[in-house]
Copies of this chain bind each other. A is one copy, B any other.
């Protein structure tokens, strides 16, 4: 069943059927009615490939993230997909893992599918050495980055001010009397660097000399973080608070502390389910995906319809206080 069949059965030309299909005003109500009747009767759906061929778009946006099984990315993908669908776009999902080569490859895969735009989730897509893959993608379609910062033509960023959040966390902890604050992180993506800078700056402002022992890089897992913190404790490295770049790491630290019946303030990042799930529940920085994602999609859609949009939108983070902040002494 194609547009020719509908034309034949309704007694009009394919041009008129096409007009009805696309809601053109230049069709008499009677004609429209007759044609719609046939369309419904035959349960006809236009062929998107043919339409795509003509219009050179299938209204699809490619979503690239390293790993949807990560709760943080999952949440972002969920939000983004919903927003896109509301705007009549489909989401082509692509999870790359961490290798740069696969990122490049899959970026090409998406472009080959002629997506209307690419949405990068997370700063993991920004390599400080080389962003040429993003640059070349942006030559074909707009690239929108959620929580990453890449300044290139046709590339737009919507991100959360995690640097300031980190700074304020440390200030808060210092204000509470903490002086030796352990910082756990996993990777030095853009987001990772920004947080560490916030950490350092706050210490400097509080006239605390950063202790290299207290800036600890650990594997991105509860067990990895737990083991690292346990080792620290065994080595009698002292600290009176913990901040972690990721809830997962914070939970690991928490487990190590709980095992020794130690209680110090702990702050995580991402405000994921596990922050609520762990005991004591974890104070965490919410990086406002609920705001970032709709904003990113909204801007992208406006861009695609010809509007000008800002190259960069920054949103403040929000600390969600739970049990691990104010410790009963």
What residues make up the interface of A, taking CB atoms closer than 8 Å to B? 45, 47-50, 52-53, 56, 58, 60, 63, 67-71, 74-75, 77-79, 81-82, 85, 90-95, 106, 109, 111-114, 222, 248, 251, 254-255, 258, 273-274, 276-279
Q: Kindly provide the distance from the CB of A58 to the nearest chain B CB, expressed in whole angstroms.
A: 7
Are B47 and A114 interface neighbours, CB within 8 A? Answer: yes
Q: Kindly provide the distance from the CB of A107 to the nearest chain B CB, expressed in whole angstroms.
A: 13
Are B93 and A91 interface neighbours, CB within 8 A? Answer: yes
Q: Kindly provide the distance from the CB of A225 to the nearest chain B CB, expressed in whole angstroms.
A: 11
CA distance A276 to B50 in the complex (A): 49
Chain B neighbourhood of A74, CB < 8 A? 68-71, 74, 77
22 contacts between A and B (CB under 8 A): A45-B111, A45-B112, A48-B114, A49-B52, A52-B52, A53-B53, A67-B78, A68-B77, A69-B77, A74-B74, A77-B93, A78-B95, A81-B93, A85-B109, A90-B92, A90-B113, A91-B92, A93-B93, A254-B279, A255-B279, A278-B278, A279-B279
Chain B neighbourhood of A93, CB < 8 A? 63, 77, 81, 91-93
Chain B neighbourhood of A95, CB < 8 A? 78, 81-82
Q: Kindly provide the distance from the CB of A258 to the nearest chain B CB, expressed in whole angstroms.
A: 6
The quantity of this chain's copies bound in the complex is: 2
CA distance A250 to B171 in the complex (A): 36
Q: Kindly provide the distance from the CB of A250 to the nearest chain B CB, expressed in whole angstroms.
A: 10
Are B58 and A47 interface neighbours, CB within 8 A? Answer: no
Chain B neighbourhood of A69, CB < 8 A? 71, 74-75, 77-79
Known A273-B71, A273-B274: A49·B45 in contact at CB below 8 Å: no
> Which chain B residue lies CB-closest to A67?
B78
Q: From DSSP, what is the main secondary structure of chain A's interface residues?
A: helix
CA distance A254 to B278 in the complex (A): 10
Chain B neighbourhood of A71, CB < 8 A? 69, 71, 74, 273
Are A78 and B82 interface neighbours, CB within 8 A? Answer: no
CA distance A276 to B254 in the complex (A): 12
- Additional pairs, 8, CB under 8 Å, beyond known A67-B78, A74-B74, A274-B274: A47-B53, A68-B77, A69-B74, A69-B79, A71-B273, A82-B95, A254-B279, A277-B278
Chain B neighbourhood of A58, CB < 8 A? 49, 113
Q: Kindly provide the distance from the CB of A38 to the nearest chain B CB, expressed in whole angstroms.
A: 18
Are A90 and B68 interface neighbours, CB within 8 A? Answer: no
Are A68 and B94 interface neighbours, CB within 8 A? Answer: no
Are B49 and A68 interface neighbours, CB within 8 A? Answer: no
Chain B neighbourhood of A276, CB < 8 A? 222
> Which chain B residue lies CB-closest to A136?
B43
Chain B neighbourhood of A68, CB < 8 A? 68, 74, 77-78, 81
CA distance A255 to B278 in the complex (A): 9
CA distance A82 to B69 in the complex (A): 11
CA distance A222 to B273 in the complex (A): 9
Chain B neighbourhood of A48, CB < 8 A? 112-114
Residue of A58, A70, A258, A276 most packed against chain B (CB within 10 A): A276
Q: Kindly provide the distance from the CB of A151 to the nearest chain B CB, expressed in whole angstroms.
A: 25
Q: Kindly provide the distance from the CB of A199 to the nearest chain B CB, expressed in whole angstroms.
A: 24
